[in-house]
Chains A and B, each alone.
Chain A
Amino acid sequence: MNLRRWLLSLCAVGVAGAGAFAFSNAARTSQPVYPHNRDIHADASALRAPYDPQLVQKNLKFWAAQTKLDSIDAVSRAQLAHWYLESYRETGDGADITRAEQAARASLKIRPTDGALLQLSRTLLNQHRFTEARHIALRAAPVNPGGYRLAADISYELGDYAQSEKYAKQAPPEGDDPSFYALMSRYSELKGQSKSQLDLLTKATAQADSNIDAEVQSIAWFHERRGRALFMDGQLDEAAREYERALQVFPRDYRTMAALARLEAARHNWKSAIEWGDKAAAIVPTPDTLALLGDAYKALGEPQKAAAQFALVEKIGDLSEAQGALYDRQRAIYYADHDLKPAKAVALARGEMKVRQDIYAYDTLAWTLFKAGKLDDAAANMQQALKWNTRDAMLWFHAGMIAAARHQNDDARRDLELALRINPQFHPTQPQIARDTLKRLGEN
């Protein structure tokens, strides 16, 4: 008798048996998880419960306790992952994402299909693991159309715009769906259709506002998106109002606080910018917020405070290098804007390009190459960044400056004028640089 064959066969039978048992067990517990009943109400804002700072923590504790009660409860683990993601939205704390991923994977171990796939995909997306995130989202898609929606978002982040639109079409909305409008607005933004973009975001915020069941964090997100679109369009007052609406429903929204800091800095309201920047940085000190604070202190004649903020940006850079590259794009832009470490900035931008190839990755590389004096490469990348005719003043400013450096004066004038026309206050300092450059070009 061939003992080895016997052993191998028996091992295979054992493993297959265990797998079959696990699978059948998982199949038995498979139930739909997330109801989509949404109550639309005109006075939803009056009826909706206000923001509860303890809500996330309460839910985390509840679902964590549930997971301990039942070792094969996939739903509890998926819910735990969901609430860690919500916690991340409030804290920006990477530890929350790590735990969300753990919980989602634990859920999927019990029930490998649907359920926590979307949560897992979101955790990966937040870690900028785009390709993995899209793969997981697409695994969920056949059962949950939300998977296509998420895959569309991730594809957009990756710069795979055509594929993104295809995925979006595979998950048409059921009725008025603010998430769908928000996704559609991104394509309008990409293609420079500002009016369409704003219309879609207006519909999205209205729908979110009228939904009693919508989470305040989600509602705030729609308002922040609309505020950002208004800011890009040069409607700064309206943008500020939109940001404030976001903060009314979700007072801890550090992203909106940072957006307000940028807006106030663009208006040269430095003290207000510092106020909002400090609030945002107290929750999550991102490099762009810290850099903006540094610029604000510098503008107010407080070089020591400015230097302290810039030093922190450097520290975050050190940490990023030690741990991964979440902030490479922000750091690259920071270095380029402040005429620091041109070679380093280019290296960071090239690193970012390896992760995703969206228009802003091309823009970042072009801008850092320009600062490094590599004008032809900069122009080639800028062309890629502008190939969709996106109406972002910053992009056109960068294009104009590159063209000016290459002595393509007509192109430079056209691009810089367009930048100022789209939004004359798109940045605290760069509009003035654009005006100065135009003046110089006019003199020549």
Chain B
Amino acid sequence: MKLFRLWFLVCFTVAFFALSRSARAHPMGNFSINHYARFEAKTGELRLRYILDFAEIPAADEMAKLDANKNDVISAAEKSAYLKSVAPQFLNDLSLEIDGKKVELSARKTDLEVIPGAGGLPTLLLKIDTATPLSEGAETSVVYQDSNFADRTGWKEILAVADKSLAIANSDAATKDQSRELTIFPIDAGVVPPRQDNAHFSIVAAGAQGALPAPTESANAQTPASSSSTTPQNRFTQSIAEKTLTPTVIIWGLLIALAFGAVHALAPGHGKTMVAAYLVGSRGTPRHAVTLGFIVTLTHTFGVFALGFALLFASRYIVPERLFPVLSALSGLIIFGVGLWLFMSRYQGLQNGHAHSHDDHAHEHDAHSHDHSHDDEHAHAHTHGAHSHTHDGDENDEAHTYVHGAHSHSHEGEDEHDHAHGDEQHEHWHGAHSHANDDEEHTHSHNGDERAHVHSAHTHAHNDAEEHTHSHDEHTHAHDDANSHGAHVHSHGGKAHSHAVPDGPITTKTLVALGVSGGIVPCPEALVVLLAAVKLHRIGYGMILIVAFSIGLAAALIAIGLLVVSARNRMTRLSALNEDSFLVRYLPLASAAIITLIGAALTLQATLGRM
């Protein structure tokens, strides 16, 4: 574990500094010039937001005009002068016809962002807003052509949308913003970068478009298919691209990231939720649930940074798209292995029945000792959940079997008493019950011969710290954790064993294995945020968002884990279930089987590439 921690710290530190100091190459190529035109029809006017994104090499060309005094610092005055000079030129190379008449475009608002790019070179994001009056009419036709940098490669996206009172018809422009104003570029080969430099559409009154011909085929083609292969875009991925980062925006961003992380954990198809829930629910404690959540957070955060790191710096050697299925398969295999391990160990335990004698051996409780004497003569009654029975200490009480299903065995507030089973051979089965022993000292002894009793997944609650002894004839045994016979392992001089029908071990290894499997495959949203953060030079904010996303993811897992732990504890106390020992006995086995199946399914999905 120490080695793992050290390795993790080294990798994290290297990734952090590398990401902090370097910027990523423009995703559309170093010499690309990317275009974005968004028409928004409003009552009385047609707005156009026109954006040019200059990658490093064309930006270097523009910088020669922008940095008038050549001091490598762009002042507000230089920006203003540059925008005044170039905005009319760029608008001049846009052709806009409304109802067949050419419209002169003039800038209502301009903006220029100088964003550091790869190799220490800047990139430029230039925005121009225009508005053209629209006359009243049943239908207004619009024809648009962008002739700026026509030969240069790049992302060329045109959108046409309308406010509520209007609608867009006969359009070959897109209606969905794929690049979020040229801030996020899908990197999937299945998403063909748009190269549209002209468009036409009509503006009609809302509701009137039903009478008009349907949008053309190309318009449909422009709309990004809702496929898993597209770059995820949602409030979370958007939060990195907020124009200005105020404290309010950052807090909202973090809350959104937390919420998306939590929702992501609950999303269908995420075996990690089921696996974590079932493992924790089968026999774990709140501590296990929290530990598991913590491991998932660490693994997921690390996974995103590691894959982002690979994407940025080692993309020549590592293809992230190939890494995803490998990670998915690895995750599936881990889940499969853990599931199988749990299933087999639980099944073995169930088969063995686990009856044994306490003759001639001793066990001890770490923090306490108590006496349980069964050789007394006095009769008493005690309550086992919904039923009660009496051990009267009669001589005739011989060779009997007591079946205690899932029951609670309470000694609360009782005076010291003895619990006699006479001297005869007997067997009693404690399915899954608890001994609550709050205050009073009591004894519980097994002094007969050849008695065997089975403690199946039950707990002895010794909430007090009072000293007491627990005598099984001549032996004592140690309770690791003081309270539970279901979970603890002890030795009677021979092989270590547990009194429970085993649920399978909750060990650090299994927790780590499941935690890692839950977090090892970086969520695409988080990866997009990381890459966008690098592009927008908001690395610190991006990293915080990703950590918040991972915490949200883990919080959901922890919550599910705690819920299931709690549900299980409550279930054991429910009288209705006390009698249904079958369910209680086979639940751990079923959970292990489900984990195994999930692992197998995830592995197969990843192997067959059908995720």
Contact = CB atoms under 8 A, between A and B. Distances in A.
B322 interface: yes
Given A60-B192, A283-B153, A312 B221 contact: no
Contact of A319 (B118, B316, B610): B118
Contacts of A320: 119
A107 B402 CA distance: 65
B245 to A, nearest CB: 26
Contacts of B609: 22, 71-72, 109-110
A219 to B, nearest CB: 21
B321 A106 contact: yes
A102 B322 CA distance: 9
Contacts of A3: 341, 344-345, 348
B154 to A, nearest CB: 8
Interface stretch (A9-17, A236-244, A415-423, A428-436): A9-17
Given A3-B344, A15-B607, A105-B319, A284 B191 contact: no
B344 A323 contact: no
Interface string A316-354: 101111111000000000000000000000000000000
Interface string B322-348: 100100000001001100110011001
Nearest to A104: B189
B188 interface: yes
B121 A318 contact: yes
Interface string A173-185: 0000000000000
A80 B195 CA distance: 16
Given A95-B29, A100-B189, A18 B60 contact: no
Nearest to B609: A109
Interface residues of B, number: 54
**Chain A contact residues: helix, strand, loop or mixed:** helix
Contacts of A324: 316
B319 A102 contact: yes
A92 B25 CA distance: 16
B341 A7 contact: yes
B415 interface: no
A68 B603 contact: no
Nearest to B315: A98
B195 A57 contact: yes
B25 to A, nearest CB: 5
A1 B325 CA distance: 33
A315 B121 contact: yes
Contacts of B188: 102
Contact of B27 (A57, A95, A129): A95
A312 B341 CA distance: 62
Contacts of A45: none
A21 B227 CA distance: 25
Contacts of B25: 319, 322-323
B151 A252 contact: yes
Interface string A73-108: 000010011001000000111111011111101100
A308 B118 contact: no
A282 interface: yes
Contacts of A18: 603-604, 607-608
Contact of B337 (A11, A60, A103, A129): A11
A61 interface: yes
B397 to A, nearest CB: 40
A34 interface: no
Contact of B221 (A61, A91, A105, A129): A61
A155 interface: no
Interface string B136-158: 00000000000001011100000
B447 interface: no
Given A93-B153, A315-B57, A84 B189 contact: yes
A186 B567 CA distance: 77
Interface string B48-72: 0000000011001100100000000
A319 B192 contact: no
Contacts of A103: 189-190
Across the A-B interface, give the 7 residue pairs with the lowest CB-CB distance, nearest first. A322-B119, A91-B153, A102-B189, A18-B607, A319-B119, A99-B189, A103-B189
Given A106-B189, A311-B60, 9 more contacts: A22-B608, A65-B221, A91-B29, A95-B28, A100-B189, A102-B319, A106-B321, A284-B153, A319-B57
Interface of B: 22, 25, 27-32, 56-57, 60-61, 64, 118-121, 149, 151-153, 187-193, 195, 221, 225, 227, 229, 315-316, 319, 321-322, 325, 333, 336-337, 340-341, 344-345, 348, 600, 603-604, 607-610
Interface of A: 1, 3, 6-7, 10-11, 14-15, 18-19, 21-22, 25, 57, 60-61, 64-65, 67-68, 71-72, 77, 80-81, 84, 91-96, 98-103, 105-106, 109-110, 127, 129, 252, 279, 282-285, 308, 311-312, 315-316, 318-324
